[in-house]
Amino acid sequence: MQLIDTVGRFTKTIESARAMGNSVGLVPTMGALHRGHLSLVERAARECDVVAVTIFVNPLQFGDPDDLAAYPRTLGADVAVAEAAGADVVFTPSDRQMYPDSAAAGGPQDMSGEPVGVHAGSLGRVLEGASRPGHFDGVATVIAKLFAMTGRCRAYFGEKDFQQLQVIRSLASRLSFPVDVVACATVREPDGLALSSRNARLSPDERTAATVLYRSLAAGAAAIAAGARRPAEVTSAMRAELGAEPLVTTDYAVAVGAEHLTPLPELAGAVRLLVAARCGPVRLIDNMEVII
């Protein structure tokens, strides 16, 4: 396994691998790797000749400096588990490697004002984007950089961050990257809680309460199975579940079209149920597909 920390060496290493006829799998992460991430690495290892895992806590996608500072960093353990799961390359760039002009990254004063970047468009402004302005522009910019460095590859993302997945699919298509975006099912605890690096910050009581997100999605899916087609009927069922849990404060609970995450007058086709809620110190999200 090669551990690489510069953009130049990462790009050259991938190019050399490809020049020898290898297919490339890319698994972009922010570290704090859990079984959800490892399922992506394992799938990439089954489907590709060479697997690159990137670990970079991207400052551009954090609006709140406290949230950035609190984000768990477990680099030593991450490298070991990534290798065990099948990574051939682990790329761990510094902020300065990724954003050399940025004052925020500890670089020299940025003289250019607002730099060139990728914007996520309307898809980046709803749901998570509404409560985290600029978040998806930051995600789209860092993923565009990783796609540009890597070139043709299969890139693996979890469905847990479904809106992020849709932004990245749109990015790959709209900017003509020769990248196949591969969506991988959310990995859950036995009680339904979606794995997340943020779960580590929950108290035992909060950890128990957090399962209500999954129960809320299940209630929405059950309402649809029982014949509900008006979004308000479905979201009432979701909100009723969430409202019954005093340790959790609902942010949103929606039933929308899966591709653009936009409201539908009547549910049909590929529908996505999405919830976000605060639970103690953290904000949790989850989602579920329902095909009607």
Spatial strand order of the sheet with 248-257 comes to: 248-257, 270-279, 282-291
Residue 269 binding a second copy, by CB under 8 A: no
Site string for a second copy, 42-81 (x = CB under 8 A): ----------------------------------------
Q: Under the criterion CB under 8 A, does residue 147 sit at the interface with a second copy?
A: yes
The SS3 assignment for 282 reads strand
Whole-angstrom Cα distance, residue 196 to residue 191?
14
Q: Decide: is 122 part of the binding site for a second copy (CB under 8 A).
A: yes
**Separation CA 288–CA 269 (nearest Å):** 14
CB 179 within 8 A of CB 153: yes
Q: Among 1, 2, 3, 7, which residue interacts with a second copy (rule: CB under 8 A)?
A: 7
Least Å distance, CB 95 to a second copy, is: 14
Which span (47-55, 234-242, 257-265, 275-283) binds a second copy, by CB under 8 A?
Answer: 257-265
State yes or no: residue 177 binds a second copy (CB under 8 A). yes
109 binds a second copy (CB under 8 A): no
- Provide CB contacts within 8 A for 69, sequence distance 6+: none
Instruction: State which of residues 76, 113, 190, 227 lies at the interface with a second copy (CB under 8 A).
Output: 113
Q: Is 119 a catalytic residue?
A: no
Measured in whole angstroms, the distance separating CA 40 from the mean position of its chain's CA atoms is: 12
CB 83 within 8 A of CB 90: yes
Minimum distance between the CB of residue 221 and a second copy, rounded to whole angstroms?
Answer: 24
